[in-house]
Structure 1
Amino acid sequence: MSETSPRTVDPELDDSTRHAFDVVSTRDLHVGRILALRLDEVLMPGGSTASREVVEHLGAVGVAALDDDGDLVLIRQYRHPVGKRLWELPAGLIDHAEEDPLAAAKRELVEEVGLVAEDWSVLVDAAASPGFTDEVIRIYLATGLSTVERETLGDEEADLVARRVPLAEAVRMALAGEIVNAASVAGVLAAYAVDSGAAPARAADAPWPDRPTRFAARRVGR
């Protein structure tokens, strides 16, 4: 049996040998209920510093719930920052630092669309907009669906509309710009890749190294 040759690391991709963007100073601009805004002064490669505004976030989970007919569950809800209703996957915030993200996903599936699932796996982890926020959302694939009673928890969820569409139609909607929520687009395309056999899903308890923790740690310290 031949030995596997050691993997060669491209020096340009080896972060341990490249410039470290150290934070020289930081100050809080806003600390709210679900996010914080801080201003960092970061050391640049040339020796100068640059200001970087960073939004800290709790992190979130979303669910691509696929039924036995191959239909995907979508919701349509109002999103105030963009001023309109969007088609999305069921999703929600992780409540606290110790919350299991899979448990959070199961909770959101019940709360938003009144469904539970027998089988769970991880589809994709998506950084919402890494140029200014540490928010990352983990999207799960849920199958073996069954209906449970849904409790409406607020006015926004009362306005929510849920529909089931063929998975291929959801892909068309994403590519046509009818689904624009970034995490939902990623989840729809990942669900299609897994369902078609193009790529495997990960285990439901797969490591999540990019899960945001800084804002959750603030809440623990309060």
Structure 2
Amino acid sequence: MSEALRDEPFEPEVLQSDLVYKGWIWDVRSDRVAYGDGEIVREYVDHTGAVAVVALDDDGRVLLIQQYRHPIRHRDWELPAGLLDIEGEDPMIAAQRELAEEADLRARDWQQLVSTWTTPGGNNEMIRIYLATGIEAAPSAFEREDEEADIRLEWVPLAEAVEGVLEGRLRNGILSLGVLATERRLRG
């Protein structure tokens, strides 16, 4: 693949944009767009964006969390992650906050690993995934509620997490991208 190959911004004229549903976390919009010689209507989730963290300890283990996700009716394994729901917050600061809130951890070293649109045909969510190393306990524990109240934490060797993804046992897309990108980054 050529290094010049990249996604291209393209902004056709939005003729009308309606708020179909105002949600607690995100909204649903319906846009009428001039496209080609005609018009199209597209409905999508208007999302704040998010961050996720591949926390990698000194033993080469990655922190996975398990929590209930109602739309899929599963307690899936994920990376610590959260919404960019504080106006103007730097995404890396949000990632640091999420690692502390979901796992009571902090990290000495941070680097952006990769970013992705999660489902561009149905929402505009962009998630940035960070690699965090130099892991240590946070100075205080965070009080969790709802689905976060019974989060399960598991430190898993990175190779086992990659194997779980490739064998189809771990199906969370952000977890998949994060551990595969981490493995690639560590290989150089």
Q: TM-score, normalised by structure 2?
A: 0.91
- After superposition, the CA RMSD in angstroms is 2.0
Match of 1:216 in 2: none
Match of 1:205 in 2: none
Aligned length: 184
From 159, 170, 180, give the equivalent of 1:179: 170
Secondary structure at the counterpart of residue 182 of structure 2: helix
Q: Does 1:81 align with 2:71?
A: yes
Aligned mates of 1:39, 1:95 — CA distance in 2 = 22
1:45-69 alpha-carbon deviations (Å, 9 max, x no partner): 1x12111002111111100000000
How far apart are residue 14 of structure 1 and its match? 10
Mapping of residues 34-49 of structure 1, within 5 Å: 34-45=25-36, 47-49=37-39
Q: Does 1:113 align with 2:118?
A: no
Mapping of residues 47-196 of structure 1, within 5 Å: 47-148=37-138, 149-196=140-187
Query: Retained in 2: the 8 A contact 1:58–1:96?
Result: no
- Long gaps (5+) in structure 2: none
Aligned mates of 1:35, 1:129 — CA distance in 2 = 14
Decide whether aligned partners of structure 1 residues 53 and 14 sit closer, same or farther in structure 2, where only a CA change above 3 A counts: closer
Aligned mates of 1:14, 1:136 — CA distance in 2 = 13
How far apart are residue 130 of structure 1 and its match? 0.3
- Amino acid of the structure 2 residue aligned with 1:123: L
Secondary structure at the counterpart of residue 86 of structure 2: coil
Aligned mates of 2:7, 2:142 — CA distance in 1 = 49
Secondary structure at the counterpart of residue 50 of structure 1: strand
1:56-109 alpha-carbon deviations (Å, 9 max, x no partner): 111111000000000000001100000110010000111223011111111111
Greater radius of gyration (CA): 1
Mapping of residues 7-22 of structure 1, within 5 Å: 21-22=12-13
- Long gaps (5+) in structure 1: 1-8, 198-222
Percent identity (aligned): 46
- Higher normalized strand content (fraction of residues): 2
Aligned mates of 1:187, 1:20 — CA distance in 2 = 29
1:102-130 alpha-carbon deviations (Å, 9 max, x no partner): 11111111111111100000001011100
- Amino acid of the structure 1 residue aligned with 2:104: G
How far apart are residue 33 of structure 1 and its match? 2.1
Aligned mates of 2:135, 2:169 — CA distance in 1 = 25
Aligned mates of 1:14, 1:115 — CA distance in 2 = 35
Aligned mates of 1:156, 1:35 — CA distance in 2 = 18
Match of 1:209 in 2: none
Aligned mates of 2:141, 2:185 — CA distance in 1 = 28
